[in-house]
Each structure stands twice: as C-alpha cells, then as structure tokens.
Structure 1
Amino acid sequence: MGEKSDTMLANKRMQAKGKASVKRLETTKKATAFQRKWFQGLRERVEKGEPLAFVNADVPQEIFRAMDIPYIVNQWWSSLCSAKQMSSYYLGLINDNGYRKDLCRYCSLSLASAFDPEPENGPWGGLPKPTVAVTRLTCDSQAKIFELWSRKFGVPFYPLENTVPRAIPDNWWQKAPRQWEDLFEPHRLDFMVEDFKGLIRFLETHTGKVFSETKFKEIMNLVNQQAYYNQLTRDLIAQTSPSPVSISDIVPAVMVPQWQRGTQWAVDIARSLYEEVKDLVTCGEAVCQNENVRLMWLGRGLWFNLGFYQHFERKYGAVFLWSIYLGLAADAYARYGEDPLRTLTSRFVGMEDMLHMPPWNSDWYIKEAKKNKIDGVVHLISDSCTQSAGGTYFIKKAFEKAGIPLLQLHADPVDARGWDESAMISKLDEFITDRIGVKPL
C-alpha cells in the first residue's frame, strides 16, 4: 500500500461526527480503565494460545465464565468501535465489499471490522481472532451475520434457539427473580436447558475447556449480588430530585460490569456506583441544581455521541436520567433457584420479550417512567433493526395513554454517517419547549 493510500486510510479511520461525554463519576472512570486493561490481558491470553469466544449480548455468558473461556460481546465491540469514531470507516468497508447499506449496523459492525486490511489499528489494538462464535436466533439477521462472521474467521458457529411466550403476564419484573418457573412457561425452560447443555458440549469439544458446576454456582450468586446493588442505584436515582446523575454517567458504569458479570470485580463496581451516587445525594449534588425536566432515553445508547445528552442539561436543565441499561440491570437479571442451569435459562428465555415485545416492554417502560417521575420520553428507533423498530406503535400508544409526551427519533445507535446533529437538537428543542412546556434557561 502506497503512502497516499496509507494517508487516505488513516483519514477515513479518524472521521468523527460525535462527541464524548464528560465523565463525572469516579466509578465510571474506574470501569472504563478496567475494561481497557482487561482487553489487553485478553489479547495476551489469546496470543498465548487460549481460546476466545465471540458471542451475542443475549448469549449466556455465565457458561463461558464457568469454563474460563474469555469472550467478547458483539454489541460491546460495536459500541466501542462507534465510541472510537470508527463505525463510518468499518461500515464503509463492508459496503465496499458488496453488502447493502441498510444492514442492521449494530449487529453487523463487528463483521464490518473484519474487513479492515489493518485490523491491528482497530480500537485498543483490534479484535483478536476468535476460536468459536455463538449467537441466539432472536431475529432473522442474527444467524446470517454470525454465519458470515464465522466463515470470515474460519471458526465453528453455534446458534442457540429462541422461543416465544404463549401468555402475557402482569408485572413480570415482580415475578422474574423467584417465580420464573410460572412466568416463562415450563416448556420454554425445558427446551432452553437442553440447548444450553448442547452449548456446553460444543464448547468443551472446540476449546478443550471443562464446565465447572461449582464455579458456575458461585458465578450465579455473584450476579445476584450485582443485581442487588443495581436495584439500589436505580431506586435511589428514581426517588431523588434533582437527579444526582445522568445516563452519560451511569451507562458505562453499569454496562462494563454487565459484560464482566459473575466476577467479584463486577459486584464491587456495582457497589461502588451505588455508594458514589448515595454520597452525591447526601451532599446535595445534582447534574442540574435547577432541574426542570426529567427525561427517559428509550432504546440503545447513542454510542458515537454520548455527549449529545449533556447539551440539554445546559440549555434547559433537562436531565436524561433513565435508560434501559440500568433499568434492565435492576429488574431483569436477579434469579434464585435450586437448579443453577435451569435458573440461568430463566435469565435469558424472556430477555427478548422484556426488551422488544409489547406489552412486556411497554408495561415495564410505563412503570419505570412513573417510578422516575419522567416528564418526557425520547425513543431512538433504528429502522434497519427489526428488534428496535418492532412494537414502536404500541409503545407510543402506551405512553399516550399514560399521558407522558414521547418523541420518536429515527437514527442508528452506532452509525454516524446519517446523523444530523443540528436537526436532532432542533427536534428535541421543539419537543421540550412545545410538548413538555419548558423554555431555555
């Protein structure tokens, strides 16, 4: 590659349209620093010959941890690439290789990064070559994306099945921790237990690692402890006005330990987050002392532009204080049961329902909005993702019925190419001033 081509490639990599958020919490800084150090250690382990799994977010990562198999989560890698302003470059590569532009970018960004002729220049040294790939068939795209991804790297691929409910429960968040056998229907759990057993056999065959039930039980206990502190943090933010934190503070501090769940470090960082937020409340600290608007950000994080939210704090005293990340970490993960593997299946069998299937998700959103005294909701919809776009009509109707203003924004959470900053700010300005009724400070 010539000098001119090298320069063009470097310029494409550095193209950016977003801005980073200001990290106000020490816990957030610690979590981010830890994740980078962890990734460096993972790269070293892989270079020495250890296996590596590449998995989707809804794959039971607790199994991999119980087998001491390092793993990288598809959506985490996508969010990192986007936050490092490399999504435009990677997605341009996959389009240049003949793939259509309306692919689900959130799930295919990792596949796109595999087309980089210089992968070592990727975030934090680039993605190491995996040993296996695992996803769940929660949408029509997942199987094909992971199949193509596994072909690209020449590694075996295990698809986990997904089931759907036949009944609609009331208040699933109250029943999930201990009444999950009734909540999720026994036939669904039976099926997933066998599927998880098949995954364990697949991993033992292709990695040489052995599943430890003793370690697995310890991991399940640690995840419950982590969920406990997430519940305390969520409840504390909900009841405190003005809000001590925003989602720009909270999301990294919640999601990094979620990818490390089942470890003592993840429990400790969840405890640290709660204690730091509690100290802020005790001292009377707030994101905006003159808080005028409490906002809910519905949908995935705007990973390439996490600083976007903070503009409205300065202009209106409007705080985005709720996201699905802390909400789910508080309500969707705690599970208690005698059979650890069956208990684990209950953590994942309904995850798709909770996130993307009305009224499972819409009932929960309304509950959380009322709990957090939300004045308005901004719903990010990615039209390329069937999971994100599905059910939006019913979600809108649910908020209308509850009397809570909602704005639907159509944009991609990782693809900066179609983002129009001024247009999006204008839409939110109009929403806050005209729909919620708050003027600029």
Structure 2
Amino acid sequence: MSAPTRADRLPSAAAATAYQRRWFADLQRDHIPGAPLALVNADAPQEIFRAMGIPYVVNQWWASIVATKRRTQDHLARLRERGYPDYTEQYSSTALGSAFDPDPASAPWGGLPMPSVVLAETTGDASRKIFDVWGDQPGVTFYPLESAAADTVPERWWELMPHHWESAVGTDRLDLMVGELEGLIRFLEQTTGLRFSEQRFAEVLALTNEQEEWNRRTRDLIAAARPCPVAVTDSIPAVMIPQWHRGTVWARDAAKQLHDEVAERVTGGTAVCSGERARLMWVGRGLWFDLDFYRRFQDRYGAVFVWSMYLAIAADGYIRYGDDPLRTLAARFAAFSDQLYTPPWSAEWYVEEARSHGVHGVVHLVSDDARGSWATTRALRAAGIPVLELHADNVDARRSAPDYLDGAVGGWLEAEVLPRADG
C-alpha cells in the first residue's frame, strides 16, 4: 500500500466559515433595533424560527466566536461589574456580556445585535438565572422551555430515534414539549405579526432530515477510515455552521459537500497525520480559545483526534421521521440534553462511538457545570478505554494555560495510550 497523502484544509470548512461571516454581516446591516431577532440556545427548537422567517443567533456559537477572538474576559468582566458571577456557565453567559457592551461595534464580528426574544431550556438554576437577566433587558422577552426527565431509559436510543422516538422519549415528555411549542408559536405570531405556515414547517423538517442523513454517512465514513482523513478542527465548522442554518437548502447542500469531500479523501488514502499512531476521542465542547490544541498532539505524537460530539450528535441526535410535524420536532429536542449529558443515555452512546471509531484513548473535558461527566468517564473506563479528564472551561482560559493542557495530555499519552496503541 502506498503511503497516505497529507490532508489540506477541507474546502467545506472554509466555505462554511465564509458563509457565516457573510450571513452575520447581512444580519447586522439589515437588522432594525426592536425588529424580531432571537437569541437561542444550541439545544433549542430553532426550526420554528426558520419556518416563520425570524432571524436568530445561536448563543453558544456567539460565545465560541468571542473566545476564538480572545475576548471572553471582556464579556465576563461586564457581568462581574454588575454583580453577576463570572465563573459559572460561561459558555451560556458570554453573550449576556454583549448586552452590556458600551461599544458593540468594536466587538468580534461587529458585535451582537440586541435580540427581541431569547429561547432556552431551563436546565439548572444558573442557566435559568442567566436568561432571567436577559429577560430584564429593555425590549427583550425570555421564553423558557421546561427540562423534563424520564423514569425509564431506552437501550441503544440512537437506533430508535429516527422512527421509534415516541417509545424512546416517552409520551408524557412529548406531550409537554408539544404544548410548549404551540405556546411559542402563538407568542411569536402575536408579538411579530408573522404567521406560522405548516407547509413551510414541513419543508424545514424534511431538509433537516436530509442534512443529518448526510452527516450520518460522513460520521460512518470517518469511523471506518484508517488513517483518519479529516481534522476535527475542520469537521466541527463544516458540521456546526450548517447546523445553525438547519432547514435551508444551503445547509443541506453543505452537509453533502462535507460528505463528498470526506469520501474522496477516504478513497484516495488521504490522512490528517501520515504517521498516525493513536486515535483519540474528544468528549466535551470545543476548546474554542485554543483550537491549535488538537493539532499539537498529532504533530508531536502521531495522536489524532478522530471524534468530536458535533458530527456524532448531528448523525444520531436529530433525524426524526413522522406524520405529525410539531410532535416530530418535539421528539428532536425533548431528550436532547439526555443524549449528551445524562447517564445512561450519554454514557452508553459515548462507549458505542468510541468502539465504532476504534479509539485508543479519550480526552474528556469536564466543565464546572457539566452534568453526568462522572458516568461518562466510568463507562468508558469500564469498557477498557483510557480516559484523561481535563477540568477546564471551554471558553474561559483562566485555568487552562496551554502548558498545563499540553503537559497533562502529553504525559497521559506517553504513559497510557501510546504503549497500548503501539502494542
């Protein structure tokens, strides 16, 4: 077999980033203060806003931009100055700091326009309080969604969700979310004057399913490929920027472009690291303030991060088919946090993904607000997979100097992972 060729940056990743810049510039240019604009959490049902033509910005996406530009501390300082904590749920609270920016035009990408509505699931006391503060701002309304739990947990939920989501999620949870979504639609119609179209909504859901089917195929290609054909620093923007535009033709086509590029690299034997020695899994949110982190270990050790939750949850967490569009959307989000953070939902899924991708070790980013992290680590170790827990925040670098991160991961690789992988 010939030696693998070294991968350049994915064109789909560069194209997605360029598209997002143009979209955000157009949003700033066209937005009239007080006009409908939503700030929504990443795990919120954005498809309703899409169907109604209401522009929205994803809260955590904005936090990632601020962190990448090394401006998180500025935003957290504004919270601290007003007596709010700057040390909890920073990923969710960073955008709130934008509301108090005296010079928004100097902020990253020209600043975050003031939303008229914020939408979030009330997961935890701190999260609820963040959005209560948003709701206290002039002209801003906070629309909360409940965070329900279930007494029973389905086995291998990722196999049930596309078609058998009623039994997987549970009728009571779905009834609750359907009622909340109906209330959200009425609220948006009354406050914006726009009308909710069932036909347009069905089109949005169909396009989203097509998009995520392409992501599922891409995930499966990467899982089977040896060596790894794409860097997670490319797959994350190539997946997640289209995710924030779910329900559009552009997003569907962007997911197909990513798939086709990955398929071409697999066929051609392209490798992120020609000297790949170990395959790593990154469990947790993206380390936005230090994206070079992932590449440093492949350059020094031949240890390649082949998995992140972003492509994997796109593959397993969104696809829903059904005859009742609103209930189908409820099935997408009623248990969304469970899939990523609540054991045994999350723990069993991470083990399945680790095995399917053939990883030799897992780096687990554990933030202070993490839910169920202990169960994920325990399940992976019980499956015989080495796990390194990094206790750090993904946007707040105050306790995460590069030397500390590099030393912790490098020492773990040398002591636990590489000997097993080489053996």
User: In the alignment, what sits opposite 2:3?
Assistant: none
Q: What's the RMSD between the two structures over aligned residues?
A: 1.7
C-alpha displacement of 1:133: 1.5
In structure 2, the partner of 1:223 is: 208
> In the alignment, which residue of structure 2 is the partner of 1:196?
181
Partner of residue 81, structure 2: 96
1:406: Cα distance to partner?
0.1
* Equivalence for 1:427: 408
Aligned to 1:339: 324
Instruction: Give distance in 2, aligned partners of 1:101 and 1:49.
Output: 28
* Contact persistence 2:284–2:309 (CA under 8 A): yes
Asked if structure 2 preserves the Cα contact closer than 8 Å seen for 1:82 and 1:415, the reply is yes
Query: Is 1:329 aligned to 2:318, yes or no?
Result: no
| CA distance, structure 2, for counterparts of residue 112 and residue 128 of structure 1 | 12
Which of the numbers 79, 85, 91 marks the counterpart of 2:70?
85
Report the counterpart of residue 195 of structure 2 in structure 1: 210
Opposite residue 55 of structure 2, the aligned amino acid is P
| Alignment partners' CA distance in 2, 1:377 and 1:60 | 30
Q: How does 1:338-417 map to 2 (within 5 A)?
A: 338-383=323-368, 385=369, 388=370, 390-417=371-398
**Aligned: 1:128 with 2:109:** no
Cα distance, 1:48 vs structure 2: 7.8
Q: Describe the SS at the equivalent of 1:306.
A: coil
**Superposition pairs of residues 289-304 of structure 1, within 5 angstroms:** 289-304=274-289
Task: Measure the CA separation in 2 of the matches of 1:301 and 1:153.
Answer: 32
Distance 1:175 1:120 in 2: 47
d(CA) in 1 for partners of 2:317 and 2:372? 20
The whole-number CA distance in structure 2 between the counterparts of 1:439 and 1:26 is 34
Counterpart pick for 2:217 among 226, 232, 235: 232
Task: Describe the SS at the equivalent of 2:365.
Answer: strand
Deviations 1:364-423 (A, max 9, x none): 00000000000000000111x1xx2x2222222211210000000011101122221111
1:217-252 Cα deviation digits (max 9, x unpaired)? 000000000011001110000000110012111001
TM-score calculated relative to the size of structure 2: 0.95
Would you say 1:46 and 2:31 are equivalent positions? yes
Question: 2-side partners of 1:248 and 1:161: how far apart?
Answer: 33
Q: CA shift at 1:95, angstroms?
A: 1.5
Q: Secondary structure at the match of 1:319?
A: strand
Establish whether residue 137 from structure 1 lines up as the match of residue 118 from structure 2: no
Aligned residues: 416
Residues 2-24 of structure 1: per-residue CA shift (max 9 Å, x gap): xxxxxxxxxxxxxxxxxxxx981
- Aligned CA distance change for structure 1 residues 294 and 391 (closer, same or farther; 3 Å): same
Please list, as runs of the form range in 1=range in 2, the aligned pairs for 1:13-32 lying within 5 A after superposition: 24-32=9-17
Q: Distance in 2 between matches of 1:395 and 1:422?
A: 26
Tell me how far 1:439 sits from its aligned partner.
11
**Deviations for 1:304-336, whole angstroms, at most 9, x for unmatched residues?**
111111000110111111011000000010000
Residues 112-148 of structure 1, C-alpha deviations (whole Å, 9 max, x = no match):
2222211111121101121111111122222211110
Which residue of the other structure, out of 27, 44, 50, is the alignment partner of 1:65?
50
Amino acid at match of 1:269: A
3-state SS of the aligned residue for 1:304? coil
Q: 1:149 to 1:33 in 2, by over 3 A?
A: same
CA deviation vs aligned residue, 1:23-60 (integer Å, no higher than 9, x gap)? 81110000000001011111223138741111111211
Give the Å deviation of 1:103.
Answer: 2.2
SS in 2 for 1:326: helix
Q: Which moved more, 1:305-314 or 1:107-116?
A: 107-116
What residue ranges of structure 2 are gaps of 5+ in the alignment? 1-6
1:15 alignment partner in structure 2:
none
What SS does the aligned partner of 2:189 have? helix
Q: Which moved more, 1:88-97 or 1:29-38?
A: 88-97
Amino acid at match of 1:418: R
Q: Secondary structure at the match of 2:378?
A: helix
Secondary structure of the residue that 2:261 maps to in structure 1?
Answer: helix
- Assess if the C-alpha contact under 8 Å between 2:364 and 2:377 holds in 1: no
The residue number in structure 2 matching 1:248 is 233
Aligned to 2:132: 147
SS in 2 for 1:274: helix
1:308/1:23 CA distance change after superposition, 3 Å: farther
Distance 1:411 1:48 in 2: 37
Q: Could you tell me how far apart the structure 1 residues matched to 2:154 and 2:217 are? A: 25
How far did residue 430 of structure 1 move?
Answer: 1.0
* Secondary structure, aligned partner of 2:290: helix
Q: Which moved more, 1:115-124 or 1:208-217?
A: 115-124
Q: Superposed, which structure 2 residues align to 1:110-121 within 5 Å? A: 110-121=95-106
SS in 1 for 2:258: helix
Contact kept? 1:432, 1:439, Cα under 8 Å: no
The worse-fitting range, judged by mean Cα deviation, of 405-414 and 117-126 is: 117-126
Change (3 A) 1:259 1:23: farther
- Identity value in percent: 48
Counterpart of 1:314 in structure 2 is: 299
Q: For the residues of structure 2 that align with 1:434 and 1:296, how far apart are their CA atoms? A: 17
Give, as a single letter, the amino acid of the residue that structure 2 aligns with 1:399: L
Say if 1:156 and 1:23 are closer, same or farther in 2 by CA, change over 3 A: farther
